[in-house]
Each structure stands twice: as C-alpha cells, then as structure tokens.
Amino acid sequence: QVHLVESGGDSVQPGGSLRLSCEFSGLPGSRLHMSWFRQAPGKEREGVAHIYNSGFTTYYADSVKGRFTVSRDNAKNMLYLQMNSLRPEDTAIYYCAAETRFLAPNWSRASMYTYWGQGTQVTVSV
C-alpha cells in the first residue's frame, strides 16, 4: 500500500510562488510514476504535471507550462511542485497521485491512478 501526504498549500497573491511537497511511502520511488492534479470547486480533477519514476521525463498541462516545475527526490521519498507566477485560476485543491504502471501519454487521466493523497489547498487572490 502506497501512502501519499501533501503539504505546502497556502494563500498567496497573484504573481506569487508556492512549493508543494508530497511525501510517499510503501514502495520505492523507482517503482512509482507520479503526478500532481488539482480540482477547483465545481470542476473536474485536472492533471497538472507528471514525472517518470526516474525523474528524467516530465509532462505539463498547457495551462501551467513555463510556470510550474515538477521534480522528485527518490532518496528522500519526496515529490515537489514549484509554482511560480500564480494566477487566481490556479486556485484549487492540489493532489499528489502515484501509479506503478507506465502512464504516458494518458498521465492526465485521473482514473489511471491507484494511489492518492488527501490534498492541500492553494488559494490565489488579492
């Protein structure tokens, strides 16, 4: 059983930055392909960023390209999401997700993931 715990959510002003963290346990990072998703009120869960188990390949939603960076440290069992130039439309609950199967190019489909964290709230407003 894989356990995921997100942290780092906060309220920030537009243009600000946040770094989300996800601590994972239960399986080594080398076996987990991981993603960040987000869900705003009344909207479907949206794939934000994906990173291969090795950390060498990443994918991003068009809405966050150039602003968000996903990374991982398998030695520390950690996944990160650096979010810069935040906008009000980035407001959502952000979730960490993991899967042992190779996912690309379907990485952004929430139904593909077995393991989920509880989420952390990010609010961007003046």
Q: Where on the phi/psi map is residue 8: left (φ > 0), alpha (ψ -120 to 50), or beta?
A: left
Q: pLDDT tens digit string along 50-97?
A: 999 999 999 999 999 999 999 999 999 999 999 999 999 999 999 999
The pLDDT of residue 104 is above 90: no
- Percentage, residues of the chain above pLDDT 90: 98
Nearest one of 18, 6, 32 to 84, comparing CA atoms: 18
The amino acid sitting at 102 is: F
